Amino acid sequence: MAGLFALAPQGALAAGIGEANTTIFGPRVYVFDPTMPAGDITNVANTVFQKLESAEFSSERYALLFKPGNYNVNFNVGFYTHVAGLGQNPDDVHFNGGVNVNADWDNGNATRNFWRALENYSVTPSNGQTQIAVSQAAPLRRLHIKGQLHLFDFDSNWNAGWASGGFLADSIVDSQVVPASQQQWLSRNSQWASWNNGVWNMVFVGCNNAPSGQFPEPPYTVITKTPIIREKPYLYVRNSGQYDVFVPALQTNTQGVSWANGTTPGQSVSIDQFHIARPETATAASLNTALSQGKHLLFTPGIYRLDDTLRVNNANTIVLGIGVATIIPTTGKVAMAVADVDGVKLAGLTFDAGPVNSPTILEVGPTGSSRDHTANPTSLHDITVRTGGATNGRYDVGIKINSNQVIGDHFWLWRADHGTGAGWTSNVSKNGLVVNGQQVTLYGLFNEHHNEYQTLWNGNGGRVYFYQSEIPYDVPNQPVWMSKNGTVNGYASYKVADSVTTHEAWGLGVYSFFRDAAVKLESAIEVPNVSGIKLHSATTIWLTGTPGSEITHVINGTGGRVYANTPATAMRQTVAEFVGTGTGTGNGGTGAALVRTGWTATSSPTSGDVPANLLDGSMSTRWSTGTAMVPNQSLTLDMKATTTFNKIVMDGTGSNDDYPRGYAVYVSADGTNWGSAIATGTGSGPVVTVSFTARSARYIRVVQTGTASSWWSMREFNVYY
C-alpha cells in the first residue's frame, strides 16, 4: 500500500513530517513529534479523515500516535482511525485546539459512528467543548478533557441527532458531560464536574461525582466501586525514546481514574518482546511460531486473513491491536483460542466472521476449563466481533468464555443489519456470547441481532455492568424464531441458563425493531427464579417496527409489553429490581425423574449384565461390572442432548452389598472433556442418592473410587430435576 503522503498535498512534506510513518509499525501508523509543524500534522489527520469520514465498511486502517509534548492542532476522527498519546500518562500529550468526532456525514445521526478509538491524551478545546458523537465500538480511554464533553451531534436544523453508544473509562472531564440524545452509556472509573442528562440507560461504575437520581427516571444506575479491573494495556514511549507496552495492574474496589495519584500502577514490557505483525506479511503460521517462542503480539493496522487458529498458550501473553486491526478466519476454524492459563491480555482487536462457518470466533479457555485464576485473571479489552457488514461471514458463537474469573472490558458483538451479507439466512450467528466459566465479570457488553440468544450465560457467579442489545431486525416470521423446542415466542436477548444459581447484572437495555414481520418476543431477559439471581435497572424499548410486533415482557413474564411509539408506556417498560424468590419456574427442580427415552449407557468393565439394563424401567434386570470393585471402574450415561439436572439415584436393591464404596460424579458437554468432579462420596446402602448444584450437560459419568470384594451393580439409574 502506498504511503498516505502520496495522496496528500506536497505541502504536507515539510521537514520532519515525512518520517511520521516510517517507524517499526509500518506505513499505516503515523508517529508525530511535537517538533513537527502543526499545520502538517493537521494536514495528515485531515487527509485520513476525508478518506474515512463516511467509509463505514472501508478496508483501510490507521493509527495516529503522538509522542509526549504539546500540539496546536484541530482535526476530526473518522472510521477505522485510532488516535492515541504515547505518554505514560494522559497529560503527557496535550492538544490545544481539538480532537473531535462529528456525524456531519449522516446529518447529525451518530448511530453508525462505529470502529474508532481515542485514548491517552489531554485536550483543551479551543471552543470550550470536545465533541465525540459515537455509538458502539468507539471506546474512549484515559482522556483528560479540559472543557465540556458532548456525546452527540446536531442535524442541519439544530436538532440533537441520535447516538447509540458508548464507553468511557479511566478519564477526567473538567467541565460538564452532555449526552443529550445519547441513548445509553457506560462510564467506568471516571469523573467530571457534572453529568447533564440521560435517555434510557446510563450506568456509572466506580466513578467520582456520579449523577444523583434513581432508575428509571432519571435512567441512572450507580455502582460506587469497580469490584475488579485491569485497565487496558497501551503503547507508550519511554524518555529514552524506546517503545514499551504498559500493562496496568489488577486492582479491586476502585473509584476514580487509575492515574489520579501519578502513574497507573503496573509494569512495562519492552517492544523487543513483541512480534510486530503487518497485514502484508503475517500468516497464521508465523504468528503461532512467535507465540510458541514466548513472544507477545502487536497487530498493526490492517486486515489479517488467517487460515489457522491463533493459539495463545502461554500465561501472561499480551495480544494488542492498534488502528482497529482486524482478523478474519478463512477456513472455518476458531480465529483465536486462549489456553486455560493465567493473565492473558487481549486488547484492541476486531474479528470479522469468515466465509466458512466457524464454531467460535474467540475462545477463552477450552471446553471443560476448571483452573482458578482469581489472583491473575485473563482480561479482554475493546473486542469487536462482526458478522457481515464489511464482508459476509458466519459462525455459531462470537466469543465463548470457558475459563474462570475472566474480566471483559467493552465488547461489541454485532451481526450486521446492513451492509454486505446482511440477511436472515446469510450472515448467520447463533449467539454473540456464551459464558461457561465461573465468576466472569463484564463491563460494557453490547450484543446485537444474532439469530438465537444474544447472550447465553451458563456459569455461576457472573456479573455484568451495562448491557445493550437490539434483537434481530430481520426475523422473517414467528415460526422460525421460537425457543424452548418451539414453545416460546422468540429467543430472549439475555439468557441465564436454568442451571445457574448465582448471577447479578446492572443496567440492561433490550430494544426491538422487527423490520420484516409482526414478530413477538415473550421476554427480553430470562433468568432462573432463584434467590442468587439479582437484576437491577432493566428496560425494553420498541424503537419502531412492523405493526403487531412486540416485546411482551421485560424479565420472566414480568413487565409490560412494548409495541408502539405512543403512548410512552407502549415504547418503554422498566423493571427496577428483580430478585429470584427460589420458588418460580426455570430452576429449583421438580423432583421428578427425567424421561430416559433414547438414552444409552456404557461401562468399564462390562459383563453379561449390560448397561442398557439400567435404563429399561425394569426392577428384574440389573447391570454389573462382573468383577470385584476397584478404583476407576466407570459408568457413563449419554442423554443425547444437553439436559439440566441436580440429582442422580443409583438403585442397587436386591444385591444390597453392591453399592459403590466410593464414587466421583463428572459431567461433560461432549463426552471428551470432563473437568473436575461435581460430587464425591461414599455409598452406605443399596440406594445411593447424589444431589448437587443444578448442571446442564449431555453426559454423566460415575467413577468407582473404592475397593470391595462385591461386584458393583445396580438395577436402575435415574436422573432428576
Of residues 346, 359, 308, the one with CA closest to residue 329: 308
- Return the active site residues: 470
Region of 559 (left: φ > 0; alpha: ψ -120 to 50; beta: rest) is left
- Are 541 and 512 in contact by the 8 Å Cβ rule? The answer is yes
* Alpha helix segments (H runs only) across 154-306: 284-292
Q: Is 608 exposed, middle or buried (0-12, 13-18, 19+ CB in 10 A)?
A: exposed
The letter for the amino acid at 697 is A
Based on DSSP, count helices (H) and strands (E) in the chain, helices before strands.
3, 53
The letter for the amino acid at 564 is A
Q: How far apart are the first and last CA of the chain?
A: 61
**CA distances (Å), 79 to each of 57, 260, 449, 592, in order?**
8, 31, 22, 56
Cell numbers that stand for 275 in this block: 512480534
Neighbours of 578 (CB within 10 A): 22
Cell numbers that stand for 197 in this block: 442528562
Residues 6+ apart with CB under 8 A from 247: 230, 233, 266, 267, 268, 269, 318, 345
The CA distance from 177 to 267, in Å, is 32
* Alpha helix segments (H runs only) across 223-362: 284-292
Q: Where are the beta strands (DSSP E) in 8-86?
A: 29-32, 62-66, 69-71, 74-76, 81-85
Cell numbers that stand for 50 in this block: 476525508
Complete DSSP assignment for 613-625: GGGSS-TT--EEE
Report the Cα 395 to chain-centroid distance in Å. Answer: 15
The CA distance from 619 to 608, in Å, is 17
Q: The dihedral of CA 521, 522, 524, 527: what is its sign?
A: negative
